[in-house]
Structure formats: C-alpha cells, structure tokens
Amino acid sequence: MGCHKIIGAQDNPEIAKIHDYSRRGQPIPWVRVFKVPEFTHFTHKPHIRAEVACQTCHGPIEQMRVVGARTGPRLLNDLAILVGLRTPPPPLSMGWCVDCHRQQNATRGTQAPLDCVACHH
C-alpha cells in the first residue's frame, strides 16, 4: 500500500481499488508504468526517507486519475505543455537523477549516492 495508506482513496476510484485489494488480502495486479533498465535497481524507500515529494519525479501526480509515463510525442499533450496547461514530465533518465542527487547534496546537505553501484548492479 505504501503512500496509498493515507493518500487519495476518497478522491480517486483507482486508489480505492488498491485499498479494496489490501482489505481482501489479495495481491494488487500492478501494471508497469515506469520501466528502468534491467541492469539498474530502484526503490522508493530512500526517497521517502529523504522526504522527496512524489511530484519531484512524477510530476503533479495528485492531479492524475491514472498515472502514465512519457511514451512519446502526442500533439494534444505537447500543445497543453506549450500553452502552460500541463507541466512537462521529468525525463527519469540517469543524468536527471544524478543531477538531482548533486543538487540535493548541495542544497539540503543530504548524502544521496553518486556512485554507480547505488543504482547499477
């Protein structure tokens, strides 16, 4: 359940489904949205412990009925971003993550790892 223990069940029917599966003790049939390469490892736990807001990486997730990943250019989406109706999603690339770790270490004094083995195995 993670964050969904406290976030959004009353506002979002998709999150209510997650609560229902949990109440019944059934596994959630997750559909992968974000995919990192097989040779990398990612977990949300250290980011949650460091109090990184979900929106930092996922964009305005609280406004999304269904979470989606950037899957390529779409004219209407591109136009909405262009006129400022929608925030562009972050690239979720290695460079973007490393830049964020550097920035957090400099501005917040955290110890976000910069070594390869933190994410690559």
Report yes or no on 74 lying in a domain. Answer: yes
Report yes or no on 121 lying in a domain. Answer: no
Cα 99 to Cα 6, 8, 27, 92: the distances in Å are 30, 30, 35, 11
Model-level pTM?
A: 0.67
Report yes or no on 36 lying in a domain. Answer: yes
pLDDT at 17 (0 to 100): 86
Identify the domain containing residue 47 by its residue range: 31-88
pLDDT at 113 (0 to 100): 94
pLDDT at 68 (0 to 100): 62
pLDDT at 71 (0 to 100): 46
Report yes or no on 57 lying in a domain. Answer: yes
Report yes or no on 68 lying in a domain. Answer: yes
Report yes or no on 67 lying in a domain. Answer: yes
Which residues of the chain, if any, have pLDDT below 70? 7-9, 68-74, 77, 87, 89
Q: CA 67 to CA 110: how far, in whole Å?
A: 28
pLDDT at 21 (0 to 100): 92
Q: How many structural domains comprise the chain?
A: 1
